[in-house]
Amino acid sequence: MTDISAVVDVLRDTFRSGRTRPLAWRKAQLTALRALFTENREAIADALHADLHKPRPESYGAEVDLPVLEIDHTLAHLDTWLAPQPLTAESLAGLPDGTTAGTQYEPLGTVLVIAPWNYPVQLSLVPVAGALAAGNTVLLKPSELAPATSALMARLVPRYLDPGAVAVVEGGVPETTELLTHRFDHIFYTGNGTVGRIVMRAAAEHLTPVTLELGGKSPVFVDRDTDVSMVADRLADAKFRNAGQTCVAPDYVLTDPATSAALQVALAASVERLFGADPQSSDAYGRLVNQRHFDRVAALLDSGEVAVGGRTDRDDLYIAPTVLAAVKGDTPVMREEIFGPVLPIVEVAGLDEAIAFINDRDKPLALYGFTENETTRRRLAAETSSGGLGLGLPMAHLRVPDLPFGGVGESGTGAYHGPHSIAAFSHRRARLDVPLS
């Protein structure tokens, strides 16, 4: 096993040396990280295919192009984001003439990033990019459940990034458990709430701040009188990408009975447009990550009437893109985050009942709505809470780098992307300058 103490000591020494603070160093690291992505596009897609049977276009989009977009946006705006923020004279009333004050971001030190398996490159290296942009050193622990991708990152990261400032420690529960005994200046964890609690407890020992990017059941409200064919296309694309193993995937639909009937027909057509008549033989469709997750998701298929799909093949870790109709709120599929290609439709009378249903449950990572009605959009925003709100196009909010990406309550704490990554990985220091004469 890696000597974790030695790795952490190197990262601490590098931070203390001051090497990571200048803007030029930060930009050089981001530029090198950009090259890691663009020069290893195929190797990244190969590893993701080995781990998750991830279709290549999905890998290029979510695991290469999106991180590159994030890095380019950061390189373009980093100077502005890091500029000191002066206070107005009004807030300095009563202090001696010539007094100035403001805030300035400073790096925290050494950051631990613990990543999951579902988007194992993006969810490892975008937080690393944010931590470096903010001037920190970083220890990355990729997920052991995506072993080819973990090994690839362990090989590539030291070739591209400053090896004194960024380290990759591979491993599973024993390694993570040991890592968590060390003192870090920030811990950034993406994964489930059970481990999130373990991380937060360990962090409390050292009073280390945490960002917890967790999951949950992200609902979709579909209003009556929407174009169900368009809704179904957008829903199916978001839900069945990566075989439903996306933290912000639409988890379930809330709609009235008439819309539900029309939507089921439209979803069948959307699934066929996306993956053909036999999704199992389509290059565009993924697989469940392992047998444990296969068994867990397959067991949820009994929670409603199968309206689309329903076929499974355990040896191939295949579960067809599936829509379950007439699902009741207390069935197993509605009790846990699905994290697989199963879309339950729960019938409600209308918006009031949908809002009550959502508010009876944990605050989700995302909430989606399809409606032409401005009042309905306004009510969904005003009368519910979620990490993000996506009206009209599920999952697109996470591609906008200036929007904070994160959860609330059970779906997480803290946020990142773009300027929000600088805020997550920095201390905002107050400064007051009073003249001596």
Query: Which residues would be at the binding site for ligand NAD (CB under 6 A)?
Result: 114-118, 123, 141, 143-145, 172-173, 176-177, 190-192, 195, 198, 213-215, 247, 337, 339, 365, 407, 412
- CA 173, 179, 180, 181 dihedral sign is positive
- In the annotation, is 337 catalytic? no
Nearest approach, Cβ of residue 13 and ligand NAD (Å): 25
Smaller CB separation from ligand NAD, 202 or 320: 202
Neighbouring CB atoms inside 10 A of 415's CB total: 19
Q: Which residue has the closest beta carbon to ligand NAD?
A: 215
Smaller CB separation from ligand NAD, 279 or 407: 407
Of the candidates 58, 213, 337, 410, the residue annotated as catalytic is 213
Q: Nearest CA to 268 among 328, 326, 338, 320?
A: 320
Residue type for 370, please? F
Nearest approach, Cβ of residue 285 and ligand NAD (Å): 20
Residue type for 106, please? E
Smaller CB separation from ligand NAD, 348 or 365: 365
Which residue in the block uniquely carries the two structure tokens 């103490």?
A: 5
- In the annotation, is 353 catalytic? no
Distance, in Å, from the CA atom of 307 to the CA atom of 347, rounded to the nearest integer, reads 14
Distance, in Å, from the CA atom of 240 to the CA atom of 249, rounded to the nearest integer, reads 8
Nearest approach, Cβ of residue 178 and ligand NAD (Å): 10
Nearest approach, Cβ of residue 264 and ligand NAD (Å): 25
Smaller CB separation from ligand NAD, 116 or 341: 116
For the chain, give the number of residues: 437
Q: Provide the token pair at 251.
A: 């988890």
Q: Provide the token pair at 340.
A: 């697989």
Q: Are 75 and 27 in contact (CB under 8 A)?
A: yes
Nearest approach, Cβ of residue 213 and ligand NAD (Å): 3
217-241 burial: b if 16+ Cβ within 10 Å, else e: bbbbbbbeebebeebbbbbbebbbb
Of the candidates 58, 63, 70, 247, the residue annotated as catalytic is 247
Nearest approach, Cβ of residue 54 and ligand NAD (Å): 14
Smaller CB separation from ligand NAD, 173 or 230: 173
Q: Nearest CA to 238 among 58, 360, 382?
A: 58
Element (H, E) at 208: none
Element (H, E) at 160: helix 147-160
Burial class (CB in 10 A: 0-12, 13-18, 19+), 250: buried
Q: Catalytic site residues?
A: 213, 247
